[in-house]
DNA sequence: CGGATTTGACCAGCGC
DNA sequence: GCGCTGGTCAAATCCG
């Protein structure tokens, strides 16, 4: 399903929380109240780096990958979530690499899991494929029909060891070609080279 | 056969 | 307290 590595024709909308930049670039506000996005010209996806620099020059340039460092959350999160992250991130760091599937089925771990919230970043893309080739390898671990959406939401995790980055992918009900990708967390590794496409160059430049 | 995906069940959080 | 919803788990299934 994740499969089609072919020639996706992305039209990128990257979500930021810098209203100024959004305004200047003619960004379009995205559904999550504090998450904003811009629309890059179709078939010229690489131009994304330009607005990205403008929007992210204050931080994240040393980010190893599109992990959107903790500093990058720039208000895309509601205070509660931020609070949770602050509380939970320490406990999260340095865990073993199989924190989500540790056969331990004790409820306490589940509880802890629920509290963990990483910085989130939203993309809105126009694409025929659900999963953008961002250079990372993802494993699908769930799919859910969400309310007010005609399309199911898919849940992915980065397959790299010790990397807990997750992403959600869903299509807009109003426009089934629009794909909303929400990244959660930060990659602690470089993108894998299993893709020779250049798309992930622009993604990883975040 | 091993890894990836699907899918139903379970659970926590939230609003009423 | 209860029901709804989103997020995750894990067994079953699929696929290369």
pLDDT digits (tens, 9 = 90+) for A129-161: 777 777 788 999 999 998 888 889 999 998 887
* A108 CB closer than 7 A to any strand C atom: no
Point out the nucleotide closest to A142 (alpha carbon to C1′): C8
Q: Closest residue by Cα to the C1' atom of nucleotide C8?
A: A142
* Separation in Å: C8 C1' and A92 CA: 17
Whether the pLDDT of residue A78 is over 90: the answer is no
Residue A141: predicted pLDDT = 93
Q: So what's the pLDDT on residue A150? A: 84
**Domain segments of chain A: what residues?**
124-184
* Domain A124-184 in CATH 1.10.645.10: no
Specify the pTM.
0.64
What is the nearest nucleotide to A155, using C1' and CA?
Answer: C7
pLDDT digits (tens, 9 = 90+) for A59-77: 333 333 343 333 333 334 4
Any atom of strand C under 7 A from CB of A192?
A: no
Mean pLDDT of A75-101: 38
What's chain A look like in SS3?
CCCCCCCCCCEEEEEECCHHHHHHCCCEECCCCCCEECCCCCCCHHHHHHHHHHHHCCCCCCCCCCCCCHHHHCCCCCHHHHHHHHHHHHHHCCCCCCCCCCCCCCHHHHHHHHHCCCCEEEEEEECCCCCCCCCCCEEEEEEEECCCCCCEEEEEEECCCCCCCEEEEEECCCCCCEEEEEEECCCCCCCCCCCCCCHHHHHHCC
Give nucleotides in strand C with any atom < 7 A to a protein C-beta: 4-10
The tens digit of pLDDT for each residue in A32-68 reads 434 444 444 333 333 333 333 333 333 333 333 343 3
The pLDDT assigned to A116 comes to 47
């Amino acid at each position: 399903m994740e499969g089609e590595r072919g020639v996706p024709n992305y039209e990128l909308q990257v979500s930021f929380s810098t209203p100024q930049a959004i305004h200047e670039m003619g960004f379009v506000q995205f559904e999550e109240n504090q998450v904003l996005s811009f629309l890059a010209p179709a078939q010229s996806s690489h131009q994304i780096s330009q607005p990205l620099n403008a929007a992210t020059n204050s931080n994240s340039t040393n980010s190893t990958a599109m992990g959107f460092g903790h500093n990058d959350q720039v208000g895309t999160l509601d205070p509660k979530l931020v609070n949770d992250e602050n509380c939970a991130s320490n406990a999260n760091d340095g865990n073993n690499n199989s924190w989500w599937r540790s056969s331990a089925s004790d409820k306490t771990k589940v509880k802890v899991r629920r509290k963990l919230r990483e910085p989130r970043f939203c993309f809105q893309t126009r694409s025929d494929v659900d999963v953008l080739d961002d250079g990372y390898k993802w494993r699908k671990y769930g799919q859910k029909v969400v309310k007010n959406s005609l399309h199911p939401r898919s849940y992915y995790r980065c397959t790299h060891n010790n990397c807990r980055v997750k992403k959600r992918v869903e299509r807009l009900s109003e426009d089934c070609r629009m794909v909303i990708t929400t990244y959660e967390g930060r990659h602690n590794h470089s993108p894998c080279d299993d893709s020779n496409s250049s798309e992930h160059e622009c993604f990883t430049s975040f």
